[in-house]
Structure 1
């Protein structure tokens, strides 16, 4: 049937308008959506698959009604078992379409719908056809709209087009998300990933439960390509962990192929490039202020990058409370000898802050009436939003201002974090200050600090005194400036209450949340509780040790211990206390040379024990930045010595890329016992963990049947390991 004209139609002929409430006008105008050629891409479909489109018919004329008389296809069809183009549903002959905006109340719709379908054949022909609509449109009574079959095209783009980290401190990290979109008409497969540039960048890609980690300088071919269908996307997580403050750059490259083409998508990545801004605080909280007074609050702007920071404008939003204003005579820039007055910044005359210097200005609050109460009797604050326009990549940053009108004079507690960050890595010593707190009268004379810690975390406030050294204060502190060691992952919520010299307390406390997020691929954390130790911070307590075993390495070594699972093992070495393949406290003791796991001279594929607690509750932290695919890692806890405090109950938390994936609670353990906690099969999360449920917190594992399968008593290494292991594992066990 090649070359035969095939017509599919539904039409009426010689149809005249009936008399009635409507009069057909000759100036009705027919249009369809989408306009332009109707294109079907064969590359986005399998052979025999059908794809349909909804075509909308509208009346864009100034007359009342458009009448559709006939709708059909003109299709010069090649020889084919079934038509490639066909109409699946069309409006009934004589359908009326009201002009846009004039159909309300008439019962006549403002659009009609045609369902046009395409069936893919595999014969090499590129087909064309016309959708024909006959109507009472006087300008085009027989309108023809082309239909095309085309080969598919793949088109990958990234959003954003480039990833820019304005500024990240050395030793810290930040993640940003980028999305790869397939805006083309056919699916693609990504078969190789590469990252070219500075080693401070890492790209993580997850597909169907598998996460790929691409390091700088790495070109990774994928055995199982990643598929991105038409109008589908792939998420990239880009991490920047700089080793210096200087600008850094890289590019992520994805090699792809489709049915019709191949290509490489490149996405630029930049870090610590250009100016950077940090506002302290991000929330200007005046607290309760006596009605009728005017109160000031200092805001600090820091140029945290390597380039000068331009402040082009500072303003308050129009929709907030008018009782907040900016003191335009207060702007100062930090110079060589302190802060110096400067002109209020404007777009015409921007203020320039040198790198690593600060500026400050004052926000004023004049409450004119008491704050209202909500339905629960809680005061409702006055609120506004402030904006700082800059030359940074972000352009404009915002801050929140709030306050309450009160009958009483209240001091305002203000928490300032010297590090200027809300997210930090474990082992960060945080410097928190209340020195910027605002008295209602006189000066601030009393400070009271408290902190809410993550579950299982221990910690204390302390300060470094030039005369007495480190002064430990425990869970509370009464100094204006204190330190706090953030050793456990999770959210810490600091609270500050103040009182001024006239006895005016802060009617509301100040709060500041700091989130501790592990910045390695695997982070394992051990904490423990010892009921017999009433003061875990006195420098004398129980000692538990975290162990992390490279199982394949231990099995290949001369390792005689095979106790797990009890009672006779499984034929494979446990690996605990292996001098090469068990990362534990001896690695940090100087007894042995730190070995090199994974690929020789590649940094990051050997774990580090970043904290070894020998006299308290933990935590002990272990990190592994570049785990090896296909390797199993065993986690264990050894109770090295109880110092006569009795049983201790351990808890192990496992974080994968900063996300808590497992919390395993052990039974109370006695001195020299070892708990086989679980196994991480990389690149999956923890796949097997061994805990126990013991209702009596003082019953040691040695007498608890629930623990017998995961804990072995008197587990100590043999001197057969060599001179480095002549010391026994715990002080109470025989070798």
Structure 2
């Protein structure tokens, strides 16, 4: 209960309307009147006015000061009832009430679609939608949405600030900025602008743009990104002195929410305040009505100078079910590496309804942390929905590494913040929808509260968590979160395979599955002519075949700060894969991709899939190519810098596969 405002129950409908009129005449809630006192409100302007045909008077959100209630007959306070506390001996107070709390933790009824509940008086009153400043799809306050949402593109840029820290003159360092399609329609990356110090440059595909002169690029053909996919640009810092340097990169797209683009702030050799706020999203899932549930949001001073936290606020339009707690009220200062914590509190006031599509209509909000950080203000998206007391437990997922990672990232998943309305959580069950071909599993198991999970294949991973309380009651709905795996090299090549006779392709160990190998060939490679076409094959050449025995060849220069060599970053010997080769700065030549069936370990034929990503975009895929032991498959060539992928075929147009391919220098 807040201040002098209290909830009450009404015994007679007539008394309700008399009370409403009295309150309006008294100027509620600005005027506070004692028993027997009178007053006048601005509503007096309505007196004597006529209501024309087709028009109506609407009374919405009536709040009645407690002072006027003692003299109103038939009105009694409910008491300090807390939503969610159900007394089995409680008698619902709903004799004449149409809606609102019944005094026992339930509701007196639901209002029609065009009405809303004035909970203070238990009446359904006409609802006036409020969409001022709201986005499409936002709750209009009347159970509807502001405008009708059609499919829309969505742009996310990560990160929106890049700090190169300290770098001596003559050095060079590169950071990646991801452009992610998060909408429901294709996103078009249409161009960019770079302004600032000449020591910064941006690498977009095979071109480098320097900030010393104004750079404003509109692509002749925008880069199309399907929902859930991404691309990237790279930012290079090459200082000529030790002075602080700054620049700004603006990313343009067809996302109408960002007509002026999304700005990425860039600095190097600068001592600046920095504030990292994690996590960026908090989903409370199903929470017992009345709650409260809490989740910590961590603030870390990540710069070289102290950072001042000016304010912590909930954005307008956020559900009133959300609040927060701070040990120290802003403004306050965090020294470098110092941390602070915000406890986000969720106390839903009613059980969530279902929309016509059968989905829960939950509470939404955004917490904003305002500071003088170089990266600007930080936002945390909040969500949750109310469930009944004594109902199901609530699962909560936290991913330590965040929402965007690169392949081979080992995710740390935390479910131990899940809770039950009574007792404790007894059991956890994890599940995942992973990209086609990925066969990663939870370690040590999917019933461990805080497992790890290796994301080996590019794409979107959707994690689910169901928890059980001490009575073996499962959560009403699983918690859900998504992680997108984005390659950050110019070329990313994946090999995956299935072996039907291997009944458990997730087990590990010597000869636990079939062994296929990915090969990536430089045009200078030479070797025995094992296919009999009169030319050297090149496979298994040292140093110009990148494969398991030559995983990180040196094909470029000798400067270790320049990543100009390919690398086999994952070699799988016991079934399914994946095997990955990454290459950030290819030469202007034609490369070849091949797959060799090294050893079937008795499991028979395998079906191989190869995917090729160029700047994080899937440009080529060939699936389920049947191979048997010792087959060598010429997959395709990749012409750079055009990134043209051409399948390798025989004279009759069939995939080129040479059987019993045994290089004399390697024994199988």
TM-score by length of 2: 0.61
What SS does structure 1 have at the residue aligned with 2:451? strand
Partner of 2:308: 310
1:675 to 603, 609, 633: 633
Q: Give a deviation string over 1:199-251, Cα, whole Å, max 9, x none.
A: xx762246xxxx325799xx9xxxxxx9979x9999997424899xx999587
* CA contact 2:598–2:630 (8 Å) conserved in 1: yes
Partner of 1:619: 578
* CA contact 2:368–2:379 (8 Å) conserved in 1: yes
CA distance in 2, matches of 1:250, 1:562: 56
* CA contact 1:664–1:690 (8 Å) conserved in 2: no
Q: Give a deviation string over 1:438-478, Cα, whole Å, max 9, x none.
A: 33223322111111111111111114xxxxxxxxx3xxx11
1:411 to 387, 393, 399: 393
CA distance in 1, matches of 2:268, 2:392: 43
What SS does structure 1 have at the residue aligned with 2:392? coil
What SS does structure 2 have at the residue aligned with 1:300? strand
Evaluate the alpha carbon distance shift between residue 438 and residue 299 of structure 1 in structure 2; reply closer, same or farther with a 3 A threshold.
farther
* CA contact 1:415–1:433 (8 Å) conserved in 2: yes
CA distance in 1, matches of 2:298, 2:553: 47
2:202 paired with 1:203: yes
* CA contact 1:174–1:241 (8 Å) conserved in 2: no
Partner of 1:165: 162
Evaluate the alpha carbon distance shift between residue 647 and residue 503 of structure 1 in structure 2; reply closer, same or farther with a 3 A threshold.
closer
Q: Which runs of 5+ in 2 are unaligned?
A: 1-156, 166-172, 180-188, 224-230, 250-263
Evaluate the alpha carbon distance shift between residue 228 and residue 412 of structure 1 in structure 2; reply closer, same or farther with a 3 A threshold.
closer
What SS does structure 2 have at the residue aligned with 1:312? strand
Superposition map of 1:525-536 within 5 A:
525-536=494-505
Evaluate the alpha carbon distance shift between residue 280 and residue 447 of structure 1 in structure 2; reply closer, same or farther with a 3 A threshold.
farther
CA distance in 2, matches of 1:202, 1:509: 45
What SS does structure 1 have at the residue aligned with 2:537? coil
Higher strand fraction (1 or 2): 1
2:231 paired with 1:239: no
Partner of 1:714: 660
What displacement does 1:287 show? Answer: 2.5
What displacement does 1:353 show? Answer: 5.6
2:437 paired with 1:456: yes
What displacement does 1:305 show? Answer: 4.4
CA distance in 2, matches of 1:312, 1:509: 36
2:542 paired with 1:573: no
Evaluate the alpha carbon distance shift between residue 412 and residue 661 of structure 1 in structure 2; reply closer, same or farther with a 3 A threshold.
same
Q: Give a deviation string over 1:250-298, Cα, whole Å, max 9, x none.
A: 8799xxxxxxxxxxxxx99425963444433333323233334433333
2:403 paired with 1:422: yes
2:616 paired with 1:658: yes
Partner of 1:344: 329
CA distance in 2, matches of 1:363, 1:542: 49
Partner of 1:396: 377
2:568 to 609, 625, 629: 609
Count of aligned positions? 462
* CA contact 2:556–2:564 (8 Å) conserved in 1: yes
What displacement does 1:311 show? Answer: 2.0
What displacement does 1:668 show? Answer: 1.2
Superposition map of 1:680-695 within 5 A:
680-690=638-648
Superposition map of 1:579-594 within 5 A:
579-588=542-551
Partner of 1:381: 362
TM-score by length of 1: 0.56
Evaluate the alpha carbon distance shift between residue 215 and residue 436 of structure 1 in structure 2; reply closer, same or farther with a 3 A threshold.
farther
CA distance in 2, matches of 1:281, 1:458: 27
CA distance in 1, matches of 2:519, 2:374: 44
CA distance in 2, matches of 1:205, 1:281: 30
Evaluate the alpha carbon distance shift between residue 392 and residue 165 of structure 1 in structure 2; reply closer, same or farther with a 3 A threshold.
same
What displacement does 1:376 show? Answer: 3.0
CA distance in 1, matches of 2:547, 2:485: 23
1:487 to 443, 456, 462: 456
Partner of 1:270: 267
CA distance in 1, matches of 2:243, 2:574: 43
CA distance in 1, matches of 2:316, 2:248: 42
What SS does structure 2 have at the residue aligned with 1:586? helix
2:537 paired with 1:561: no
2:519 paired with 1:547: yes
Evaluate the alpha carbon distance shift between residue 284 and residue 353 of structure 1 in structure 2; reply closer, same or farther with a 3 A threshold.
farther
Partner of 2:255: none
2:207 to 185, 209, 212: 212
* CA contact 1:667–1:707 (8 Å) conserved in 2: no
CA distance in 2, matches of 1:372, 1:663: 43
Superposition map of 1:633-644 within 5 A:
633-644=591-602
2:177 to 171, 174, 179: 174
Evaluate the alpha carbon distance shift between residue 242 and residue 196 of structure 1 in structure 2; reply closer, same or farther with a 3 A threshold.
closer
* CA contact 2:274–2:303 (8 Å) conserved in 1: yes
What displacement does 1:304 show? Answer: 4.1
Q: Give a deviation string over 1:80-108, Cα, whole Å, max 9, x none.
A: xxxxxxxxxxxxxxxxxxxxxxxxxxxxx
2:423 paired with 1:442: yes
Evaluate the alpha carbon distance shift between residue 293 and residue 595 of structure 1 in structure 2; reply closer, same or farther with a 3 A threshold.
closer
What SS does structure 2 have at the residue aligned with 1:288? strand
What displacement does 1:179 show? Answer: 2.7
Q: Give a deviation string over 1:556-604, Cα, whole Å, max 9, x none.
A: x5x34263xxxx53x543311111211111114xxxxx64213454642
What SS does structure 2 have at the residue aligned with 1:456? coil
* CA contact 2:203–2:236 (8 Å) conserved in 1: no
What SS does structure 2 have at the residue aligned with 1:621? strand
What displacement does 1:299 show? Answer: 2.6
* CA contact 1:544–1:639 (8 Å) conserved in 2: yes
1:499 to 457, 468, 471: 468
What displacement does 1:196 show? Answer: 6.1
Evaluate the alpha carbon distance shift between residue 635 and residue 195 of structure 1 in structure 2; reply closer, same or farther with a 3 A threshold.
farther
Q: Which runs of 5+ in 1 are unaligned?
A: 1-159, 183-193, 220-225, 254-266, 332-341, 464-472, 589-593, 693-704, 719-724
Q: Give a deviation string over 1:379-415, Cα, whole Å, max 9, x none.
A: 3112222211122234222222233233243322111
What displacement does 1:685 show? Answer: 2.0
* CA contact 1:240–1:271 (8 Å) conserved in 2: no
Superposition map of 1:71-220 within 5 A:
164-165=161-162, 173-175=176-178, 179-180=192-193, 197=199, 203-205=202-204, 211-213=206-208
What SS does structure 2 have at the residue aligned with 1:462? coil
* CA contact 2:516–2:597 (8 Å) conserved in 1: yes
Partner of 2:254: none
CA distance in 1, matches of 2:403, 2:244: 23
1:598 to 556, 560, 565: 556
CA distance in 2, matches of 1:546, 1:308: 49
Evaluate the alpha carbon distance shift between residue 647 and residue 514 of structure 1 in structure 2; reply closer, same or farther with a 3 A threshold.
same
Evaluate the alpha carbon distance shift between residue 537 and residue 287 of structure 1 in structure 2; reply closer, same or farther with a 3 A threshold.
closer
Evaluate the alpha carbon distance shift between residue 384 and residue 175 of structure 1 in structure 2; reply closer, same or farther with a 3 A threshold.
closer
Q: Give a deviation string over 1:126-150, Cα, whole Å, max 9, x none.
A: xxxxxxxxxxxxxxxxxxxxxxxxx
Partner of 2:605: 647
What displacement does 1:654 show? Answer: 0.6
CA distance in 2, matches of 1:582, 1:527: 19
